[in-house]
């Protein structure tokens, strides 16, 4: 129910402020939405697959702050800053939800700043973020979520040629999640454009990823740089999860939809309507497309698309609103319905993740949405039998992290 309330409220705010350009109480509602996103993620109870893993590590593997040695910082389950965050909260007697709350505050405030900087249609951005990437940044990839928003700010500094500030943010991101280390190569890609070279790279990304898979195979798992949690949970990494044999339906839905809509959005906004502000973001949009295409054969690189998904969200959101506002020949209500109809396949793509069977799942009747619905908070600590069943089967072993310790949480 809480998710539906947020979606309805966001739909109302999109109409009032993004489409009709209202200004009264705009700042209040912006802060209200950010607050709601923080509270939902920060006070959740046993929601999110990786959250269960983090819960086990927090209470049973986190050392006290005064017990940490220099070697521990680089040889523990977490990266140095992730370990320090857990250790500080654990050392002062904080419950695990404090970690969730800190992470949610950090991610959602910085992401709001990012959206606010690049478009005036903040509520549309948050709507798309809520139905697409919110579960990843806030419920699953806790350390990676922090790294993502730090890298977004670092990217902005690099575009402004503030190299020192940009690289400082990248380094902080690396020490929250080692996968961010590839972002240090970002300056090499700032010249990417939707020209012959850019289109050629996009077209070649799928066959190149297939070639890389044949040449390097399991060595590509090193790209993950985050096997610690999953290995502790399952005892092994199933390489089938990181490579794929896919059919035409996968190309049409998981790749074609997001790529088609962002390329159409780029053409409409930057080529046709000459939006220079968004035009500057095209290197990061191209990188998102490249990682999406490469994920056809290497699902493991989809993690890196998450570093650039907010750019796609900005383009989708601006395109959605501009299609409504720029057509004076029809009424706003008719233009709204037309825009919704046009973007419906993309919304279907966003919903597909929730309907899928989780990887490593024994019971094929379970679906991803059961990790997040129904919502439960640390205030009432209600349990979902279907969610607990999913957690018990998720790793194909009788893992201790599935034990329920209500008071501990």
Structure tokens at 259: 């790529």
Q: Evaluate whether 383 touches 404 at the Cβ level (below 8 Å).
A: yes
pLDDT for the residue 300: 76
The answer, yes or no, to whether the previous bond of 374 is cis (omega within 30 of 0) is yes
* pTM assigned to the model: 0.91
Per-residue pLDDT reduced to its tens digit, 299-328:
778 889 999 999 999 999 999 999 999 877
Per-residue pLDDT of the chain (409 residues; tens, 9 = 90+): 899 999 999 999 999 999 999 999 999 999 999 999 999 999 999 999 888 888 888 988 889 999 998 888 888 878 999 999 999 999 999 999 999 999 999 999 999 999 999 999 999 999 999 999 999 999 998 999 999 999 999 999 999 999 999 999 999 999 999 999 999 999 999 999 999 999 899 988 888 877 877 776 655 555 565 544 444 434 333 434 444 445 555 555 678 889 999 999 999 999 999 999 999 999 999 999 999 988 877 777 888 999 999 999 999 999 999 999 987 778 888 999 999 999 999 998 898 888 888 776 766 778 889 999 999 999 998 888 888 888 877 754 444 544 556 566 6
Cα 217 to Cα 57: distance, rounded to the nearest angstrom: 30
Cα 317 to Cα 37: distance, rounded to the nearest angstrom: 18
User: Which string of b and e fits 327-342 if b means at least 16 CB within 10 Å?
Assistant: eeeeeeeebbeebeee
Per-residue pLDDT reduced to its tens digit, 59-107:
888 899 999 988 888 888 789 999 999 999 999 999 999 999 999 999 9
Q: Which residues contact 274 (CB under 8 A, 6 or more apart)?
A: none
Q: How many residues does the chain have?
A: 409
Q: Evaluate whether 127 touches 322 at the Cβ level (below 8 Å).
A: no
């Amino acid at each position: 129910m809480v998710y539906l309330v947020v979606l309805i409220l966001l739909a109302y705010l999109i109409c009032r402020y993004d489409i009709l350009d209202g200004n009264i109480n705009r700042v209040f509602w912006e802060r209200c939405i950010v607050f709601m996103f923080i509270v939902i993620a920060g006070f959740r109870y046993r929601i999110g697959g990786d959250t269960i893993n983090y819960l086990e590590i927090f209470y049973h593997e986190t050392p006290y702050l005064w017990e940490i040695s220099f070697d521990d910082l680089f040889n523990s389950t977490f990266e140095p800053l992730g370990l320090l965050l857990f250790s500080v909260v654990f050392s002062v007697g904080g419950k695990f939800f404090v970690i969730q709350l800190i992470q949610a505050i950090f991610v959602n405030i910085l992401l709001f700043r990012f959206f606010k900087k690049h478009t005036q249609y903040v509520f549309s951005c948050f709507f798309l973020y809520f139905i697409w990437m919110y579960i990843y940044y806030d419920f699953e990839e806790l350390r990676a979520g922090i790294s993502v928003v730090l890298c977004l700010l670092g990217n902005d500094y690099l575009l402004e040629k503030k190299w020192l500030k940009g690289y400082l943010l990248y380094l902080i991101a690396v020490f929250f999640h080692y996968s961010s280390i590839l972002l240090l190569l970002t300056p090499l890609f700032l010249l990417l454009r939707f020209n012959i070279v850019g289109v050629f790279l996009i077209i070649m990304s799928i066959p190149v990823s297939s070639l890389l898979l044949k040449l390097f195979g399991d060595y590509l798992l090193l790209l993950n740089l985050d096997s610690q949690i999953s290995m502790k949970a399952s005892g092994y990494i199933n390489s089938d999860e990181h490579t794929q044999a896919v059919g035409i339906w996968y190309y049409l839905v998981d790749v074609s939809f997001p790529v088609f809509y962002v390329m159409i959005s780029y053409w409409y906004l930057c080529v046709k309507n000459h939006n220079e502000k968004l035009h500057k973001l095209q290197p990061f949009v191209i990188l998102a497309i490249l990682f999406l295409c490469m994920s056809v054969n290497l699902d493991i690189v989809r993690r890196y698309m998450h570093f650039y998904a907010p750019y796609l969200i900005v383009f989708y959101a601006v395109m959605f609103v501009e299609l409504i506002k720029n057509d004076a020949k029809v009424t706003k209500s008719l233009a709204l319905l037309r825009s919704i109809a046009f973007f419906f396949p993309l919304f279907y793509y966003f919903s597909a993740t929730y309907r899928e069977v989780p990887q490593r799942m024994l019971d094929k009747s379970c679906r991803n949405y059961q990790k997040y619905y129904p919502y439960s908070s640390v205030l009432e600590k209600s349990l979902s039998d279907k969610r607990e069943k999913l957690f018990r089967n998720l790793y194909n072993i009788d893992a201790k992290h599935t034990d329920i310790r209500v008071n501990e949480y």
